[in-house]
Structure 1
Amino acid sequence: MTSPAAAHPLFAAALAELGVEVEVRRFPAATRTAAQAAEAVGCELSQIVKSLIFAADGEPVLVLMDGSSRVDTERVRAELGAERVGRADAAVVRETTGYAIGGVPPFGHRTRTRVLADRGLLDHDVVWAAAGDPHTVFPMEPKTLIAHAGGSVVDVREVREAPSS
């Protein structure tokens, strides 16, 4: 366990600007995937916040999703009224956020983007998100995290079909 100083400098500056103090945990092994992060933290996979950048008609959009779910791009498209939605490539993610894939925090980005937060994040008292690099995470109450991200709560999780009997 470490202090906010363990966070990426861009994210640490965002925390300071918001006047928010969080406990940033640094791990020796990377936590690039939600499963790796959940194992390192010792929490449920669904308590990990994935910060994913999509391109909606060429414009970057941040989607916050729980670690055990997948984003339904068709639902994102409908939510945004866009014609096309797809995953942004690594260069667009870094250019938009200032961070590499696997370490993107839910707020504190280089540029302001539209943020969609899946309602499933609200199922938990505490969620864990990246603090700017693949070795760091921090805990926060979901409503607070979504508010700091400027997110709209929406339903964009992929719905799995129940097997027919």
Structure 2
Amino acid sequence: MNKFLITGLGNPGCLYEKTRHNFGFFILDQIAKKNLIFFIKKKLGFISEFTFSGKKIFLLKPSTFINNSGLSVKYWMIKKKVLLKNVLIISDDIYLNFGKFRLRGKGGNGGHNGLKSIEKEIGTSNYARLRFGIKNFSNKRIDSYVLENWKREEINSLFTKLDEGIKIIFSFVENGLQKTMNLFN
């Protein structure tokens, strides 16, 4: 059976729950809710698993905080024997307009410390990543902006965007990276 590791980046704890930087956790929570599954606290993360289209999917929310996400990703890739081509990392992106998704099979980290950590731990930047735009139109420092709670108007739009993101994730599992990029980018 093919195995997939879908990792949402974020910071654990209620202090960070509604922050922009926790988009990865947020979308995985919505997938879990829709599929009536739960996360269990395990080594280096909160993990959930289920089967979709004959494929085993592991949802991972690292408990290492964003800056050390790579430790969790590497550990669970090895533990669950997931091939790199079946790993998808979901993160926020300060340079994309709010609400825009971008799926790529490789690339730079764009200054995102979670992506930097993953590259360091797995030894490559050739892994699939789904970024969600949270572009900062204010003059705030990036580190404080990403750790702010969503604004009310962002939350209203956020829920309408979630379905698109979830479709992209399940297409990645069902159709692979290239076909999914052709469909959604």
Q: What is the TM-score of this pair, normalised by structure 2?
A: 0.31
Q: More helix per residue: 1 or 2?
A: 2
